[in-house]
């Protein structure tokens, strides 16, 4: 029986997601955590009958911590299986993808490589902005959490509801920064592709041009 659950997510989500889980198991012990330091404070003995659940978290959990959870570690990833890794919505917009989605999967030592249990896909509306796509993805991710909340709270093992596998290149912070390094000979089309996807100074990284040792940071127009 699952006796405890470490909920790895931002503070804004911890109360609402805990409430959903406890609606199925009022006696479930929930440890809300937001980073590795807080995870390491949890007593290893108490984790042998517990599981880890991450929701839209950018925290990379090391293998030694994953191994402490006797009932496994699972992640709600705000992107589809073909966009593993960092900032999936940004890269989907850059690629001019027609569809997007969210993924529920087991966690493994390598980021976004564990067995996939469930996926929800949806079309990207024409003219979608990064904010709009992010809101759509978050809404679908929350719905996916609601579907899996009872099994996560009650069941000792979870069975996949799909047969999909990860594909595509795992995106990283380094690749994001590279996309924001604007060459002087960039075409107009490529510039606006990058501005649409990476131009909002998210994560403190903005498109920039370096000219004679001077860096010029770009700002998106008001319409985006």
Write the pLDDT tens digit of every residue in 16-50: 999 999 999 999 999 999 999 999 999 999 999 99
Q: Is the pLDDT of residue 178 over 50?
A: yes
Half-sphere exposure of 158 (CA within 13 A, CB side): 29
In this prediction, residue 221 carries a pLDDT of: 61
Strands 99-106 and 4-8: unpaired
CA pair distance 111, 63, nearest whole angstrom: 10
**For range 192-221, the mean pLDDT:** 88
In this prediction, residue 218 carries a pLDDT of: 78
* Residue 61 contacts residue 109 (beta carbons within 8 Å): no
Q: Is the pLDDT of residue 224 over 50?
A: no
Domain 4-154, CATH homologous superfamily name and number:
Formyl transferase, N-terminal domain (3.40.50.170)
Q: Any residues with CB less than 8 A from the CB of 106 and at least 6 apart, and which? A: 72, 73, 74, 75, 114, 115, 117
CA pair distance 165, 108, nearest whole angstrom: 14
SS3 45: helix
In this prediction, residue 168 carries a pLDDT of: 84
For 168-179, give one letter per residue: b (16+ CB within 10 A) or e. Answer: beebeeeebeeb
Q: What is the pTM of this model?
A: 0.92
**pLDDT per residue over 100-147, tens digit each?**
999 999 999 998 989 999 999 999 999 999 999 999 999 999 999 999
What are the residue ranges spanned by the domains of the chain? 4-154, 173-217
In this prediction, residue 37 carries a pLDDT of: 96
CA pair distance 34, 202, nearest whole angstrom: 20
Q: Is the pLDDT of residue 222 over 90?
A: no
Mean pLDDT for all residues in the chain: 94
Q: Which residue has 């029986």 as its token pair? A: 1
**pLDDT per residue over 71-84, tens digit each?**
999 999 999 999 99
């Amino acid at each position: 029986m699952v006796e405890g659950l470490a909920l790895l997510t931002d503070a804004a989500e911890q109360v609402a997601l805990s409430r959903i889980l406890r609606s199925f198991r009022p006696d479930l012990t929930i440890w809300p955590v937001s980073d590795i330091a807080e995870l390491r404070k949890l007593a290893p003995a108490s984790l042998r009958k517990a599981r880890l659940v991450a929701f839209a978290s950018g925290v990379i959990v090391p293998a030694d911590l994953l191994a402490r959870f006797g009932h496994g570690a699972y992640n709600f990833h705000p992107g589809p299986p073909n966009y593993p890794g960092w900032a999936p919505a940004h890269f989907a917009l850059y690629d001019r993808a027609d569809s997007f989605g969210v993924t529920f999967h087991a966690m493994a030592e390598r980021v976004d490589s564990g067995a996939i249990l469930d996926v929800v896909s949806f079309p990207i509306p024409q003219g979608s902005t990064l904010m709009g796509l992010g809101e759509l993805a978050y809404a679908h991710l929350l719905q996916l959490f609601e579907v899996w909340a009872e099994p996560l709270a009650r069941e000792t093992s979870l069975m996949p509801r799909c047969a999909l596998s990860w594909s595509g290149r795992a995106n990283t912070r380094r690749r994001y920064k590279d996309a924001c390094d604007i060459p002087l000979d960039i075409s107009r089309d490529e510039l606006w592709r990058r501005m649409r996807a990476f131009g909002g100074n998210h994560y403190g990284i903005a498109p920039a041009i370096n000219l004679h040792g001077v860096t010029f940071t770009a700002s998106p127009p008001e319409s985006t």
